[in-house]
Amino acid sequence: MIGELDPRAAGARRLKDKICVVTGAGQGIGRATARRFGAEGAKVIVADRVATGAVETVRQLEAAGVEAAMILADLGKYAEAQRLIRETVAAWGRIDVLANIVGGTIWWQPYANYSEEQINRELERSLFPTLWCCSAALPVMVEQKAGAIVNVSSAIVRRGLYRTPYAVAKGGVEALTRSLADEYGRHGIRVNCVAPGGTDTPDRVTSRLTLAPGVVGEPAPGMDEYFRETRDDYKRLALARRSQVAEQAAAIAFLASDDASFITGQTVRCDGGT
């Protein structure tokens, strides 16, 4: 039954009985990662700020025989990240894997067109949740003397158009990954990163313009045109296509598993060959 989540999973063995927190698990790469972790034998904590997608993810996991729970939290806020980790430990006793998936571009436009508020919103969406969740989870993992953190960056850190604040946020995620790997390796903690390229997300239920539950921002002038230009960029890739969420989840699951036991401080570019 579990194998039906992703038939490529390694026989539900690589993450067997591990307690895995997946942020942004209500849709897209986050949901695919939760499903892949479940297929690998994990017990999955589905973290998201919107109930609709999180409830559906938990439903899918439980239907496949995976033990799962949901915690709703706005992880752009330090206190909410602390609460996520605190409630996880209270319920499950430990955290073996933290997958920081939450994030994503809000607006597409030339950098000079971004307002101060928009820049702050982009950082709050795509940098702060990873900063805050790592800060909250590391003391738990240090006490355990074990743990794996997998952050999610973006191919735009190397190249891309109309998303400069997002690129800066994800560049920060990659820097955080390298720094924490150096600091915490002595405690038995591995920290790695996956940098996805353009990825199709057919199960999106929350608009990118949703700034908070019930709060939807305005699109930037010309945003649809800028978005189309960046979406067509896949034609320049070696594989000449966009990725699927399950392909990103597979890379994340590898780095989370003991198959990557001697890998830390790395960013795996799952980008189709830029």
d(CA 54, CA 233): 31
Q: What SS3 class is residue 204?
A: coil
Distance CA 271, CA 118 (A): 26
Contacts 24+ apart (CB under 8 A), 133-136: 133/21, 133/23, 133/75, 133/81, 133/84, 133/85, 133/98, 133/100, 134/98, 134/100, 134/176, 134/180, 134/191, 135/78, 135/81, 136/81, 136/82, 136/84, 136/85, 136/86
Question: How many residues in total does the chain contain?
Answer: 274
The set of catalytic residues is 166
